[in-house]
Amino acid sequence: MKAVLQRVAEARVDVAGETIGAIDQGLLVLLCAERGDTDAHADKLLAKMLKLRIFSDPAGKMNLSVQDVAGGLLIVSQFTLAADLAGGNRPSFSSAAAPDDGRRLYDYFVAQARLAHPVVQTGQFAADMQVHLVNDGPVTIPMQI
């Protein structure tokens, strides 16, 4: 699984002009399931993400996790993270999980996140979404498990 984490002051996802998920301080999580990914990959990614120390402590050092600061998670599916740019100018997405597998893993990841963390919002799988955010820092971290 791949994810891009963005530390945000606030973020929201709109579909068809309506906000479907929003958080204040926390992490915007752009999430991609790839072929061969399993529930174990999702579990490992989530565990690492929740403990990643990328929020500032009182001394201004990145020493706190999203759990430490009681921040939210806004989890958005984004299969384009699987883009392969090796052959020409049009990306190939052949390494992305098939839609049914991608949805199942996304739903699993969100369910596990909700069990482990108090504030979890989401986008809508396979929808045309507009993601709005105020990137804090900016801090953007790519992850792959």
pLDDT of residue 32: 98
Question: Measured at the alpha carbon of residue 2, what is the angle toward residues 53 and 35, in degrees to the nearest 5?
Answer: 155
Please identify which of the residues 78, 109, 121, 122 carries the catalytic annotation: 78
Rounded to whole angstroms, the Cα distance separating 67 from 142 reads 19
Please identify which of the residues 19, 38, 80, 130 carries the catalytic annotation: 80
DSSP conformation letters of 63-97: EE-TTTTT-EEEEEE-GGGG-B-SSSSS-B-TTBP
Q: pLDDT by residue (tens digit) across 99-139?
A: 999 999 999 999 999 999 999 999 999 999 999 999 999 99
pLDDT of residue 59: 97
Q: pLDDT by residue (tens digit) across 12-55?
A: 999 999 999 999 999 999 999 999 999 999 999 999 999 999 99
Residue 90: pLDDT band with limits 50, 70, 90 = very high
Rounded to whole angstroms, the Cα distance separating 13 from 121 reads 9
The pair of three-digit structure tokens given for residue 142, joined into one six-digit string: 């790519």
Rounded to whole angstroms, the Cα distance separating 133 from 23 reads 9
Residue 4: pLDDT band with limits 50, 70, 90 = very high
pTM listed for this prediction = 0.96
Q: Is 25 assigned a catalytic role?
A: no
Residue 2: pLDDT band with limits 50, 70, 90 = very high
pLDDT of residue 50: 98
pLDDT of residue 120: 98
Q: What is the mean pLDDT of residues 71-80?
A: 97
Q: Is 55 assigned a catalytic role?
A: no
Q: Is 6 assigned a catalytic role?
A: no
Please identify which of the residues 6, 25, 55, 79 carries the catalytic annotation: 79
pLDDT of residue 10: 98
Largest CA distance in the chain: 47
